[in-house]
Amino acid sequence: DSADVRIKVYDVGGNHVTTLYNQKSNPGAVLITWDGTNKRGRNVVRGVYYIIIRIDKERYVKKVLVIR
């Protein structure tokens, strides 16, 4: 069964920074990387960001720190 998968990046203020993945996906491993840029392709400032992973109705949050 495929699932709706969305992976988005937010800053500490809750502002949407970029979307890394947004599509239906079959079970299995998928490698997603973030190059530290926003939706306009510009480098984000250093600081804390949150990766929100949604798989159907499940939600996971991962905290990342950008340092340059």
pLDDT score of 30:
87
pLDDT score of 1:
87
E strands present in 1-68: 3-11, 16-25, 47-55, 58-66
Angle at 31 between CA 28 and CA 36, to 5 degrees: 150
Tell me how far the alpha carbon of residue 4 is from its chain's centroid.
14
Residue 2 pLDDT greater than 90, yes or no: yes
Note the pLDDT tens digit of each residue in 3-52. 999 999 999 999 999 999 999 999 998 899 999 999 999 999 999 999 99
